[in-house]
């Protein structure tokens, strides 16, 4: 391993960022962050995505992104082209008596061909003196050139920057539980889920126009971010808060 993964993990741990904190800051999913730190690049869509995520992650951590990319490039092992070795085959010498036999056979074959051609010449001459004239065959119809149908261009994969922008469509609320907390959530007017969550867990909620925290049993134990922007504290530990409504207007006010 080239070492770029260890540098990223060490910088993150030095900042005391959890994987969830890092996801909120960089807008890179947790599974991709783990892949970058473990240098397990096979689960990412391609080299372009790998370099884009490495550069974004390094800048957020305050590292030299060019150095990280250089370490990644050094870790790519080029497949060696196979070298074809010529086969040495031993050529067996032909016996000396075989050459006169071959030459004699070729001479006999040439004589047979000459006699056969001479026999065909009179028949061709008689055919030329015959009054029969062959019927002229109709010419083949002209074929119009057909313009080939070009295939549609392959789909263009979105760049890493577009991937981060796409996550901002609609409303996405990230609920991070720092203490045990009971919560009931409604999305776009429909019940979504309810239950008690332990400390250290998180829950992602996506909606189109409205996300409603119907009831929060321990307001001080819940942190909420809306489309990557942190909301003010909902309340104190043990405090019950009801009807916290998150809309696009809420996002504009943050």
Domain ranges of the chain: 4-75, 165-253
* CA dist., res. 237 & res. 222, Å (int): 9
User: How many residues comprise the chain?
Assistant: 254
> Which strands form 181-187's sheet, in the order they lie side by side?
190-197, 181-187, 211-216, 241-246
Residue matched to tokens 């096979």: 42
Tens-digit pLDDT profile for residues 135-164 = 555 555 554 554 444 455 555 454 544 444
Q: Which of 63, 59, 71, 49 is nearest to 26 (CA)?
A: 59
> Which strands form 171-177's sheet, in the order they lie side by side?
202-207, 171-177, 222-226, 229-230
In CATH terms, the superfamily for domain 4-75 is lambda repressor-like DNA-binding domains (1.10.260.40)
Tens-digit pLDDT profile for residues 17-48 = 999 999 999 999 999 999 899 988 888 888 88
Q: Terminus-to-terminus CA distance in the chain, angstroms?
A: 42
Tens-digit pLDDT profile for residues 212-239 = 989 988 889 989 998 999 989 989 998 9
């Amino acid at each position: 391993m080239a070492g770029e993964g260890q540098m990223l993990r060490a910088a993150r741990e030095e900042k005391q960022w959890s994987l969830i904190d890092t996801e909120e800051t960089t807008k890179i999913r947790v599974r991709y962050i783990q892949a970058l730190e473990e240098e397990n690049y096979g689960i990412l869509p391609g080299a372009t995505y790998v370099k884009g995520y490495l550069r974004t992650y390094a800048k957020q951590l305050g590292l030299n992104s060019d150095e990280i990319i250089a370490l990644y490039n050094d870790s790519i092992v080029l497949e060696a082209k196979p070298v074809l070795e010529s086969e040495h085959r031993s050529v067996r010498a032909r016996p000396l008596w075989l050459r006169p036999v071959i030459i004699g056979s070729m001479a006999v074959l040439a004589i047979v061909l000459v006699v056969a051609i001479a026999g065909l010449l009179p028949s061709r001459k008689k055919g030329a003196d015959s009054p029969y004239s062959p019927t002229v065959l109709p010419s083949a119809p002209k074929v119009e050139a057909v313009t080939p149908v070009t295939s549609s261009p392959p789909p263009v994969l979105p760049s890493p920057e577009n991937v981060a922008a796409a996550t901002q469509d609609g409303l996405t609320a990230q609920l991070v539980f720092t203490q045990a907390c009971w919560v009931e959530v409604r999305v776009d007017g429909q019940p979504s889920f309810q239950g008690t969550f332990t400390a250290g867990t998180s829950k992602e909620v996506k909606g189109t126009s409205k996300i409603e925290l119907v009831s929060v049993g321990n307001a001080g134990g819940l942190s909420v971010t809306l489309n990557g922007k942190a909301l003010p504290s909902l309340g104190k530990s043990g405090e019950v808060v009801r009807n916290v409504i998150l809309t696009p207007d809420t996002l504009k006010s943050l």
